[in-house]
Structure 1
């Protein structure tokens, strides 16, 4: 008999986010929901990440995006001993978005409808995988977005800088409720994500996470925000970061420039959608 994570409706906070209720930590299985971990030169933290993910969910796929740090062979050895783990190896580095697209196309072919994406570097909270999956099962039409809760390990420059991207993402979606545009711990419905990505040539590298939520929102996929702690590891702790401040901020600037012009073209449709949504909510309160 198929087992699904138990889920209690989360409590809503004053800022509009919710805190997911803890689901059982035993590995859960679903024929519709897949856990996907794109991985590029992650260092040894990837093994802790994969083991933690497998304790919480089944199945788990790792897409190795042309890694050259020696982790590929060890991941394949792990998969040889674990039927719930699959390792997919891309011959060269194509970018996070390209790795996710490769994974979701395979997943759709095998009948999966939703995917939780999780970084390989240990920053994302594996213990919340069941709760996020359960939230998606309760709202299959929605994208479940992690809302990061930072601790003292978070670089102040990164925390402040993401506010700019978040502001632009909310403007470009006419404030439909994107809590955080950059946090990659999310559950996506596969079909609309694949359509959005196949429809244009962007969203293949670091720009994947923010562009995905904007374009998914344009496609009518509603966001649900759930809070999740994030941990930044120092190099002494095995942390690996591929973030380049100049290169990646230039990429984000170009991305938001493109999205802003797309937003202007879609503005009448987005405004009409927001108006209809507001009328529906008011009517619901009156009945």
Structure 2
């Protein structure tokens, strides 16, 4: 049963590239929890958008946006957030199309965002036993560099994509750089929003890795995407160093304020 009352400020944004049958399942789950839900079809060629298009024709709370060429997760989210801002929305919950993110947690994430609209609400993954060890352990490297680049500002997990973003600062950031368009989006967005002074709010949520038999599809490529992350953190460190005095001053001011 789809969530009935539409929000005028917060929407769910699902980027999708060749997600198979899981896309329609993910969309149904999201619509049961939230209204509206938008899907950005990022140059898909597998026909996975066809059932969702049919759903949208009879569901005013569901909308499809299309990109003719695959530009990457960050590019799809940028397109969706630009359209959301133009329609008067202020916040977007980014959710993967592959069934890993729990739709039943959408309401809790949105409630946290409404309580603190100037913050970014970050899901922190609670992994099940089926999670690949190399993925669980490998993200610790990115988390270390993210902590350093933000002076331990409290980003619980740098790579987990189940998040609520204030859309305007994200779009403004992306208009100033040609990066953040692919797998580098999640970590770089968290770091750069911290640099702007947005505080992270962390919420633990379960994550599920689906097997191939369950329809699980992953576009993650260990060599390519780890190389992308390495370049990203190198770039962020170069941006971090000139910002270091400001970040230190900000942290000292926060600590002084917390004592009063």
What TM-score do you get using the length of structure 1 for normalisation?
A: 0.89
**For residues 169-188 of structure 1, what are the structure 2 equivalents within 5 Å?**
169-188=146-165
Aligned length in residues: 259
Query: 2:4, 2:156 → 1: CA distance?
Result: 28
Contact between 1:36 and 1:117, CA under 8 Å: does it hold in 2? Answer: yes
Classify the secondary structure of the residue corresponding to 1:176.
Answer: coil
1:136-175 to structure 2, matched below 5 A, reads 136-175=113-152
Shift of 1:84: 0.6
Q: What residue number does 2:216 align with?
A: 239
Name the CA distance, whole Å, in 1 between partners of 2:39 and 2:3.
20
What's the CA shift for 1:29?
A: 2.7
The corresponding residue for 1:263 is 240
**Deviation >4 Å, runs of 4+:** 25-28
Q: CA deviation at 1:78?
A: 1.3
Aligned residue for 2:38? 61
List per-residue Cα deviations over 1:144-191 (Å, max 9, x = no partner). 000000001100000000000001001000000000000000000111
Deviations 1:203-260 (A, max 9, x none): 0001001000000110111000000000000101100001100000000000000001
- Match status 1:35 vs 2:16: no
SS of equivalent to 1:187 = strand
Quote the Cα distance in structure 1 between the aligned partners of 2:215 and 2:37: 22
Question: Which of 90, 95, 107 is matched with 1:130 structurally?
Answer: 107
Contact 1:117 1:186 in 2 (8 A): yes
Partners of 1:33 and 1:112 within 8 A in 2: yes
Aligned ranges 1:1-287 → 2 under 5 Å: 26-283=3-260
Q: Which runs of 5+ in 1 are unaligned?
A: 1-24
The answer to whether the 8 A contact 2:18-2:48 is kept is yes
Provide the C-alpha distance between the structure 1 equivalents of 2:127 and 2:40, rounded to a whole number of angstroms. 27
Report the counterpart of residue 20 of structure 1 in structure 2: none
Deviation track 1:85-123 (CA, whole Å, cap 9, x = no partner) reads 001111010010000000000100111000100000000
Partner SS, residue 15 of structure 2: strand
Q: Deviations over 1:42-90 (max 9, x none)?
A: 1111111000000000000000000011112222111112111001111
- Name the CA distance, whole Å, in 1 between partners of 2:128 and 2:5: 28
- Per the alignment, in what secondary structure is the counterpart of residue 58 of structure 1? coil
Q: 2-side partners of 1:44 and 1:235: how far apart?
A: 12
Separation of aligned partners in 1, 2:199 and 2:50: 39
Distance in 2 between the 1:252 and 1:270 partners?
23
**SS of structure 1 residue aligned to 2:123:** strand
What is the TM-score of this pair, normalised by structure 2? 0.98
CA distance in 2, matches of 1:205, 1:264: 24
